[in-house]
Amino acid sequence: MQLILEKRAQASRLMHFASPVLAIGLTVILGGLIFAAMGQPPLKALYLYFIDPLTNLWSIEEVLVKAAPLVLIGVGLSVTFRANVWNIGAEGQLTAGALLGSIIPIFFASWQSPLALLVMLILGMIGGALLAAIPAFLKVRFGVNEILTSLMLVYIAHLLLDWLVRGPWKDPHGYNFPKSVSFEGWQLIPTFGDGRVHLGLVIALLIALLLYWVMTRTIKGFEVRVIGAAPRAGAFAGFSQSRMVWFCFLLSGGLAGLAGIIEVAGTIGQLQPNISPSYGFTAIIVAFLGRLNPIGVIFAGLLLAVSYIGGEGVQIELGVSDKTAQVFQGMLLFFILMCDTLIHYRLRLLKGNGGAQ
């Protein structure tokens, strides 16, 4: 008896959509086993992790708050990965966007108008795009692998943020805490009612819809898909690989930067050393789980947001480590990449080789 992978004659459309579901299922099963191995009641832990966050209003709100940056970054990455361009540094671009956008509240705190907020958002996008331009340039000009350069810039951006909030941008009246001044008035993103959900969620959804339209209805989307599916066919169509690298990095970097400024001006309200629980990395999982389709990314973003809140939930209720969320996210990415094999291959059980004697 032997289990083999056999290539399918044609890619399976069913598996294309079933693979994320299967991956989620396997994550839940393995997650339950891990909880059991830790001596926790697995069913209760899984309930706390996946269902409980959706049972009361405050945690639903919190899920939506976390989904906004995940969706925003995830849609940019979904387009980028579609074109076979690998921007792994969204976390750094998020930081860069937050930094550049914060110039307004930190240095021009008295400028109170909706325009100030708009300028902050635009600066956020520019900041993310500028940092993303570095790997794009290196890739196009020198052929440097963009995975490495974009990833390494994450740490540079983090250290820059750290230095700024502990040094020049520290709030002089902040009792020496490593924090900037608190943003005020029109330099904060408006929330819905008194809740925590802010306009960032709407922006994320609108951009996801816009990118869906771009990918399915426009020549630009066609270009992205052609270059990703068959680079030589892209050249035959007259599309430039280099321009595509630029487009993808500026787009995904800009959206990550936008997510960064929305996070500090919406959820946090000031700059501090930690502004993101690795949204930029988690968004990579979001993009793949959403099948690199902007609409799919919306749902995947919500699911991964639940994993953050669920992780906090089990930490509070059961006292397990707050790294649980990262373990679940890691398992999810692992399983989805594994299950994606089944799009092009099928599993087959081979009976023992009979005619050998």
| Residues making contact with another protein (CB under 8 A) | 6, 8-11, 217-220, 222, 225-226, 229-230, 232-233, 235-238, 346, 353-357
CA distance 255 to 70: 10
Least gap, CB of 203 to another protein (angstroms): 22
CB closer to another protein, 43 vs 230: 230
Closest approach of another protein to the CB of residue 18, in Å: 17
Question: In terms of CB distance, is 111 or 345 closer to another protein?
Answer: 345
Instruction: Tell the smallest beta-carbon distance from residue 130 to another protein (Å).
Output: 25
φ/ψ (deg, to 5) at 314:
-70, -30
Secondary structure class of 182 (helix, strand, coil): coil
- In 3D, which of 240, 217, 215 has the Cα closest to residue 227? 240
Q: Under a CB-based contact definition with an 8 Å cutoff, are residues 23 and 335 in contact?
A: yes
Angle, vertex CA 208, rays to CA 262 and CA 342, nearest 5: 120
Q: CB of 227: closest distance to another protein in angstroms? A: 10
Q: How far is the CB of 6 from another protein (least distance, A)?
A: 8
Residue (240 or 278) nearer to another protein, CB = 240
Q: Which is nearer to another protein, 231 or 273 (CB)?
A: 231
Beta carbon nearer to another protein, 193 or 355: 355
Residue 67: closest CA among 242, 188, 205: 205
The token duo for 232 is 């030589």
Q: How far is the CB of 11 from another protein (least distance, A)?
A: 7
Strand partners, 346: 6
Q: Cα separation of 96 and 156, whole Å?
A: 10
323 three-class SS: coil
Is the distance from CB of 71 to CB of 297 less than 8 angstroms?
Answer: yes
How far, in Å, CA of 120 to CA of 101, rounded?
A: 5
Residue 33 or 235: the one with the smaller Cβ distance to another protein is 235
